[in-house]
Amino acid sequence: MEAIRVVGGRPLAGTVKVEGAKNSALKLMAATLMAPGVSRLTNVPNISDVHVMGKVLKRLGATIDVEDEHTLVIDTAPVASWVTPYELVAQMRASTAVLGPLIARFGEARVAMPGGCNIGARKIDMHLAGLTALGVEFSVDHGDIKAHVPDRLRGTVVPLEFASVGATENLLMAAVLAEGDTTIENAAREPEICDLAEMLAEMGAEIEGAGSPTIVVHGVSELHPVEHEVVGDRIEAGTFLAAGALAGGPVTVEGFEPVHLEMVLRKYEAMGMGVERGERRVTIRRDGQIRSLDIQTLPFPGFPTDMQAQTMVLLSVAGGTCVVTENIFESRFMLAAELARMGADITIEGHHAIVHGVPALSGAPVTAPDLRGGAALVLAGLVADGYTTVSDIHHIERGYENFVPKLQSLGAEVSLLSA
Ligand code: EPZ
């Protein structure tokens, strides 16, 4: 297994460009199932989760040509299966994003029930309840979800209990090819939802209100393949901005929309960072000691849960005490135990983490608990005394392309160890 070794104390400065958003690309790939033919996705991140989604599409019968490492040419005309097996869903729960597209195209789907993961139960009850309202009949058979549309998908009003990103996406994709109008109430508003809605509209869908809490879809009878560029990854960008905030900066991150990270930028300014917003770029610099500040994660445009771990590292060396509240996932604080090994002083009380800032962290061997926690531990190593080795970095490789080379380009003393 590989590990990342980082030597603390090197100032970071320079410019790094982020890739396309993992949390959009995976759904755009799934959406190509709805338009038989050859679609072309550009600015696709070259990460392991994308490779797994490629396996899912190929298992269904699609062909995928990797034109260059960031361009996928996907032909879904040959797709004749609607079965996504456990071994693929178990590798990546986002495989469930094929549910809506398969139901829309075939009126059938058989997708393994996703298990939980390190950050929570990750249920899909809201996906199933919403699709049922559109006319889908579900049954569970030996761990698989079986979907069948006895008649045809019919539009209706679907209020979501919670602004679930995945449920909004599956409902949106199924509604596009349903008869009549669908209104999704309490819809997720993340930029990745807007990117998916934009591509579906380019394919011929009629969608209003993407990015607002109420999305209205006028069903159409068919979609056509398209070419689409994946939106920039705001979370990868936020991760490098957190690195610049920790290790000094100025660090400029390019290739994303600053407005997609506005709440994070405002919190980092309140924590004492210098933040300069530009055209598809942000420059950040640390101005003196980091100020402690309470954070609570919420659906977009609230503070993103995917930036919670990286921000906890900043707060662990801030001057003061604050409370980090995780409202989206039930167990997304595993980072705290690893940070404690580096000298952080964090107490977990249910959904709250009480973070007492310490003067400095000390390097130590630590284990990546999940994707964002793993990246956060590397960031902690940037400012810890001595060196830190982060193992189980396959978590990091799921969502970050060239994480080590990008940090090296900013001046970090970081390297890949094949343990
Ligand atoms: C997406 O997950 C992202 N993943 C997550 O990013 C992100 O943290 C999350 O949205 C929130 O922004 C992808 O897009 C591939 P949810 P998703 O449905 O769709 C519960 C990362 O680090 N819930 O908004 O699964 C669920 O258990 C990953 O890149 C139900 O209970 O998020 C969770 O606690 C991590 N029933 C909460 O809602 C449901 O039917 C949020 O889930 C659906 C969700």
What's residue 114's pLDDT? Answer: 84
Classify residue 292 by its DSSP letter.
P
Judged against a pLDDT cut of 80, whether residue 419 lies above it is answered with no
- Whether 322 lines ligand 1, by a CB cut-off of 6 Å, is no
Q: Which atom of ligand 1 is nearest to the CA of 122?
A: 27
Judged against a pLDDT cut of 70, whether residue 105 lies above it is answered with yes
Give catalytic status of residue 194 as yes or no: no
Those residues with Cβ within 8 angstroms of residue 11's Cβ, 6 or more apart along the chain or in another chain: 247, 248, 411
- Whether 127 lines ligand 1, by a CB cut-off of 6 Å, is yes
What's residue 7's pLDDT? Answer: 98
Calpha distance 352→331 (Å, rounded):
10
Greatest CA span in the chain, whole angstroms? 65
What's residue 120's pLDDT? Answer: 77
Q: Percent of the chain, pLDDT > 90? A: 93
Q: Do 49 and 55 contact (CB within 8 A), yes or no?
A: no
What's residue 108's pLDDT? Answer: 97
The answer for 88, left when phi > 0, alpha when psi is -120 to 50, beta otherwise, is alpha
Mean pLDDT of 93-104: 95
- Whether 406 lines ligand 1, by a CB cut-off of 6 Å, is no
**3-state SS record for 62-117:** CEEEEEECCEEEEECCCCCCCEECHHHHHHCHHHHHHHHHHHHHHCEEEEECCCCE
3-class state of residue 53 by DSSP: helix
Judged against a pLDDT cut of 90, whether residue 119 lies above it is answered with no
- 160-183 tens-digit pLDDT: 999 999 999 999 999 999 999 999
Token code pair at residue 18: 């982020």
Judged against a pLDDT cut of 90, whether residue 390 lies above it is answered with yes
Location of structure tokens 């400065």: 13
Report helix, strand and coil shares of the chain as percent, to nearest 5.
35, 30, 35
What's phi and psi for 345, nearest 5 deg? -120, 90
Confidence of residue 122 (pLDDT cuts 50, 70, 90): confident
Q: Percent of the chain, pLDDT > 70? A: 99
Q: Which residues face 206 on adjacent strands?
A: 218
What's residue 118's pLDDT? Answer: 75
- Whether 125 lines ligand 1, by a CB cut-off of 6 Å, is yes
- 293-311 tens-digit pLDDT: 999 999 999 999 999 999 9
Mean pLDDT of 351-378: 98
- 10-51 tens-digit pLDDT: 999 999 999 999 999 999 999 999 999 999 999 999 999 999
Catalytic-role residue among 73, 117, 133, 263: 117
What's residue 25's pLDDT? Answer: 98
Mean pLDDT of 197-215: 98
What single string gives the DSSP state of each residue in 204-264? T-EEE-TTSSEEEEE--S-----EEEPPB-HHHHHHHHHHHHHHEEEEEEESS-GGGGHHH
Judged against a pLDDT cut of 80, whether residue 71 lies above it is answered with yes
* Dist. CA 124 → ligand 1 center (Å): 9
Count of C-beta atoms within a 10 Å radius of residue 272: 18
Token code pair at residue 329: 């996932």
- For residue 367, CA distances in Å to 37, 321, 336, 341, 401 come to 43, 25, 11, 10, 19
Q: Which atom of ligand 1 is nearest to the CA of 163?
A: 24
Q: Which atom of ligand 1 is nearest to the CA of 300?
A: 12
Confidence of residue 113 (pLDDT cuts 50, 70, 90): confident
b (16+ CB within 10 A) / e for 392-405: bbebbbbbbbebbe
Q: Which residues face 417 on adjacent strands?
A: 3
Q: Do 1 and 237 contact (CB within 8 A), yes or no?
A: no
Ligand 1 pocket test target in 92, 165, 231, 332 with most atoms within 8 Å of CB: 165
- Whether 300 lines ligand 1, by a CB cut-off of 6 Å, is no
- Give the pTM: 0.98
Token code pair at residue 357: 């800032």
3-class state of residue 5 by DSSP: strand
